[in-house]
Structure 1
Amino acid sequence: MFVASMFNKSTTFKQTCIVTVFAAFHVIILVLSTDLGAALIFFVVYIAMLYIATRKLSYAGAGLLAGAGASVIAYKLFAHVRARVIVWRNPWEYIDTSGYQICQSLFAIGMGSWFGYGLCQGMPDKIPVAEKDFMFSAISEEFGLIFSIALFLVCLNNLILMMNIASRCKTLFYRLVAVGLGVTYGVQVFLTVGGAIKFIPMTGVTLPFVSYGGSSILSSLIMFALINGMYNMRQDEGDRKDGRKQKTGQTKKKTKHTK
């Protein structure tokens, strides 16, 4: 909301620098607190909002390059970042310690095969944090790969709907908020699924509306409620425009009739 309001006021170079410093400060705080998932989400959301607000690929490209450089520096400076990457590259070497989670996740997905074991027939107790971080793995084991792909496509459909609503918002502030919420949702799904299948390092992000947790469900509900609000506002904008057009047409007809 803060980033959207700042860009709504102005998109000058000075204003962009101020907002960028603010965003970078928050990302650094999240990295220092070992919340790498939230840091990555915030970074990607900011880059998306930066491009939508300024329409300058150079700004977005510079932000991505800065993020890549910061990732290398974080890998060199922080032990917890190095540990995540090392385990991701070769979890089998650390299967009894730090690599146990991802190895069990891969075992569960593989054993589930195409159609899974069936509801309550799997072994979710063998998957660490199955109800949160590795919910996708537990679903794949019990319902199979086909169901998991269908679930991913549902999430992709939600993302497309969010981006469609954002593209139809005429006011910059509403458009930025909708884009930010949509990208947040999309990155959450990508990080959860990508981490479970070892496509990217695990970040500890939950799958919206699927993973267990009061705060996760609440934040997802708020996210979708705001998106729905953006959609209703877009409809109101269209109704107001139609009303103005009708009034203008009636005024023109009256003028012609008077003449």
Structure 2
Amino acid sequence: MRKYRALPVALLAALALTACQDGTGTQDEGAAAKAESASSATAKAEETPGATGATDANSGTATGAKGGASGTATDAKGGNSRAAKPTDPADPANRVSCNGSNTTVTAKPVPRPLNHMLITVKNTGSKYCDLTYYPVLRFDEMQWVPRPIEDSQPQAVTTLAPGESGYAGVVLSAADGSGEHGRTSHKLTVGFQGRTPNSGGGPSALPKLPAKGVYYDSSLTVTYWLRDMDDALSY
């Protein structure tokens, strides 16, 4: 008979978490004064010889200023747009932990291999996110942590760019029927670990299970987070 691992208090707390400006611009007070000064200068120029050149010069200056302001606004807008997109994944400022608040999570049994389920996590945020270690699974109210498959540990942390997905494979039950305490579950909580093992990584996810539920026994194990779906289902 397999011995279940007691669920660390920190992970139980992590599993209980849930995924839980109006700015106004300032007006240039000197705008009216500047407009009045420009109008006065134009009037004076028209009263003196060479008024046409003075007027053209004044008009050219005003037009140039307007064009410059427009260009600055456009550049600023473009700069803000570029800043919202992550660039270097190695920069800590561009990376956060993947969890239930910045991803979508699905959990689906697969026909092959037998007794396997695939967990898919898609980064829906605007920054790179890290899937650290392995998912902490909890079917219904189970009080033990499914063991990770150590051979599946990748050489580097699985980092997802916005829109990318990561995977974990779950062995639900022993193919030869040697598992014990089998039962059918209708609820699954997927917990995320932080930068250190067994630490909380943020809100958990509650992916839907099939209406008929998912059968598992004491052989329940899970892979580390991986980038490739086929790799996740190869254990």
The TM-score by the shorter chain falls in which range? under 0.3
The higher relative CO (CA closer than 8 Å, separation ≥ 6) is in 2
Higher strand share: 2
TM-score by length of 2: 0.20
Which structure has the greater CA radius of gyration? 2
